[in-house]
Structure 1
């Protein structure tokens, strides 16, 4: 499976301004509407449970909220770019790029490898800049196709 196949055009979002709760809700709804998640409320609770364990802020203005959940039918990723920084964590962690991962409970090693690749690429400044300068879905997909 190619990395870009984990996305859909319905799960690439560009927003002006949201709170952390609005952001999580919007991304969970995108998964539900795409048929990736079977139970919206429970998946959202699974995301918050993970957030309570530790912040999913990874630095460089990026957060990767995620859940391994029995509510997930197949692995998927939702991307959301904010126009303005959002205070995401307790330590004043400003976020503009968010990747939410939905991972099935019995996910294959291949899915985990692909998701790990995302994290590695997000540490590369060139890749982050491509995402930061993305203004629409086509820009986003051009950036994602550069992932190795």
Structure 2
């Protein structure tokens, strides 16, 4: 499952305001609610599931990336959002470095296999230092989507002309 298929311009925050682990997760969930991708009635349930997951081990996986995720029986499709922080968020990451990219996703409990596919796709994408650099420099939502779609900077620029 490609990350580009899970995101849209409205599901990308170019500069997060939160500077700490839990407030960053709340900011992302509240953004999903405000832009209509998550039912407000599910907000507290989803936050509780994320809190349990985060208490097990931080989802700050290193290289400036965090991948908080949880399951819900009340979702019918995977919901994802990307938040970027140029200054960095203290996410209690495994490498103890600030997180600059938070990719939060929620998976329907019935589709557990999508959880592993989505995690693998995100991990593969973010192990590439060049992709992280390009994502950090991207100035527009569409630029970020183009990177996730695998478009080269030249292809993306030509497509915009």
TM bin (shorter chain): 0.7 to 0.9
Q: TM-score, normalised by structure 1?
A: 0.85
Could you tell me which residue of structure 2 aligns to residue 96 of structure 1?
100
Mapped to 1, the partners of 2:113 and 2:98 lie a distance apart of: 32
Check whether the contact 1:28–1:44 (CA below 8 A) recurs between aligned residues. yes
2:37 aligns with one of 35, 38, 44: 35
Larger fraction in strand: 1
3-state SS of the aligned residue for 2:111? coil
Could you tell me which residue of structure 2 aligns to residue 44 of structure 1?
47
Matches within 5 A, 1:1-148: 3-15=3-15, 17-19=17-19, 20-33=21-34, 34-37=36-39, 39-89=42-92, 92-107=96-111, 109=113, 112-146=116-150
Shift of the alpha carbon at 1:125?
1.3
Q: Which has the larger radius of gyration?
A: 2
How many residues are matched? 147
Q: Unmatched 5+ residue regions in structure 2?
A: 152-161
Check whether the contact 2:8–2:145 (CA below 8 A) recurs between aligned residues. no
Q: TM-score, normalised by structure 2?
A: 0.79
Larger fraction in helix: 2
Of the structure 1 ranges 31-40 and 68-77, higher mean CA displacement relative to structure 2 is found in: 31-40
